[in-house]
Amino acid sequence: MKIINGDRLAETFKTLAGIDSISKEEGALCRWLQQRLQELGFHTAVDQAGSKVGGNTGNLIAHWRGNRAAAPLLLSAHMDTVEPGRGVKVQFKEGVFTSAGDTILGADDKSALAVMLEAISCIQENHIPCGPLELVITICEEIGLLGAKHLDYGQITARMGYVLDTRNPQAIITRAPSSNRFEFRIHGKAAHAGAAPERGINAIALASKAIAQLNLGRIDSETTCNIGLIEGGLATNIVPDLVVIKGEARSHDEAKLEQVTAAVVSAFEQAVAAGRQQSGEALPMLEKDIQSDFRRLFIDAGHPVVALAQQAAQHIGQRMDMASSGGGSDANVFAEHGIITAVLGTGMENVHTVNESIALADMLRATNLLIEIIRIHAERS
Ligand SMILES: [Zn+2]
């Protein structure tokens, strides 16, 4: 009853993977997608997110009215990839796509784009029931969900849908943590390390005392904390007067996230206050910047977006386990704007490494599931 064109799906994926689209440089890919979606009868628009984040294109928003009256369904994926992602030479052996080994493949998230395009082509060719579709193809997901954060939500009417941006095609991610980002700058005082160390205040030593007090890594089953970057000092013979420390905390529980964040802040405050007591002057001094990166995704097991995916999976004889993720995605941001999207997988493996791969069979599975989701949704409405 539905004929997915595996060769076309493979060809589309290869083409997409061959178009460079590092974060903030998604312009060429955006134009390719816009053209293809227009050929499929979509109204397309590019929003202003690109100029807000300093990129060469905005998010691509595409609408198709479908062939049935139904509530609009949002489908989303991101255009951008991480480095090294320029000049990807796609290999295909024994049903599996890889890069040539010197770049990522970009299955994250171009496999999702290929799956969505193939599902739409297949729906149109086979007159499969389909309600209005709203495609949101974001920029700069990999550098802090920036496209989703600056999306023109005035162009979106859908209140539920799916983000295709994870590994397992037989799971649905309904939970993801909230995340805070923090940056501390400890100001000490420079002095010659050999001639007059007593005149200096060592910012690196103070930072070390603070960090040594922290509980890092996995704090409990739903909470993590990391110091990811430390930068300071100029030379071995200078007492360093500045150190910058960046990190993050995540939790599926908002209260725990606030607790962990407060503990991190307090460790830095105490270390610097103790330093000031010792020096008896205005230095050392602490500057801090704590920001909410994204809020948690928490979709109830009974939500229609879950039921729909599970029913579709059942129809095609496939599993669909509810899962939770340790990472944020555009779905976290959409939820903050009242659009409930669960995250579905396409089969991508070892993402963000030069060993990234994806099996065509998994992309076919994801396409089949997506078509079934769209069909059931249209027929039920
Ligand atoms: Zn991704």
Q: How far is ligand 1, taken at its centre, from the CA of residue 85, in Å?
A: 13
Q: Catalytic pick from 141, 241, 356, 362?
A: 141
Domain architecture of the chain: domains with CATH: 6-176+296-380 (3.40.630.10), 178-294 (3.30.70.360)
What pLDDT score was predicted for residue 331?
Answer: 98
Q: How far is ligand 1, taken at its centre, from the CA of residue 23, in Å?
A: 11
Q: What is the mean pLDDT of each run of 10 residues along the chain (381 residues)?
A: 86 98 98 98 98 98 97 98 97 98 98 98 97 98 97 98 96 97 98 96 98 97 97 98 98 97 98 96 97 96 97 96 94 97 98 98 97 97 77
Q: 62 pairs with which residues across the strands?
A: 44, 135
Per residue in 238-263, is it b (16+ CB within 10 Å) or e — as a string?
Answer: ebbbbbebbbbbbbbbeebbeebbee
What pLDDT score was predicted for residue 15?
Answer: 98
141 is catalytic: yes
Q: For residues 128 and 112, what is the distance between their CA atoms, to the nearest angstrom?
A: 20
Q: How far is ligand 1, taken at its centre, from the CA of residue 345, in Å?
A: 10
Q: For residues 99 and 14, what is the distance between their CA atoms, to the nearest angstrom?
A: 10
Could you write out the DSSP letters of every residue in 120-131?
A: HHHHHHTT----
Could you write out the DSSP letters of every residue in 226-277?
A: EEEEEEE-S-TTEE--EEEEEEEEEESSHHHHHHHHHHHHHHHHHHHHHHHH
Q: How far is ligand 1, taken at its centre, from the CA of residue 117, in Å?
A: 17
DSSP 183: E
Read off the pTM.
0.91
Q: How far is ligand 1, taken at its centre, from the CA of residue 166, in Å?
A: 7
- Residues belonging to the chain: 381
Q: How far is ligand 1, taken at its centre, from the CA of residue 232, in Å?
A: 32
What pLDDT score was predicted for residue 25?
Answer: 98
What pLDDT score was predicted for residue 344?
Answer: 98
Q: How far is ligand 1, taken at its centre, from the CA of residue 187, in Å?
A: 37
Q: 251 pairs with which residues across the strands?
A: 178, 223
80 is catalytic: yes
Q: How far is ligand 1, taken at its centre, from the CA of residue 199, in Å?
A: 50
Q: For residues 259 and 251, what is the distance between their CA atoms, to the nearest angstrom?
A: 10
Residue 373 in tokens:
């989701």
What pLDDT score was predicted for residue 381?
Answer: 77
What pLDDT score was predicted for residue 356?
Answer: 98
Q: Where do the H-state alpha helices sit in 321-359?
A: 330-336
Q: Catalytic pick from 26, 47, 80, 108?
A: 80
Report strand pairing: 133-138 vs 321-324: unpaired
Q: For residues 45 and 122, what is the distance between their CA atoms, to the nearest angstrom?
A: 23
What pLDDT score was predicted for residue 3?
Answer: 84
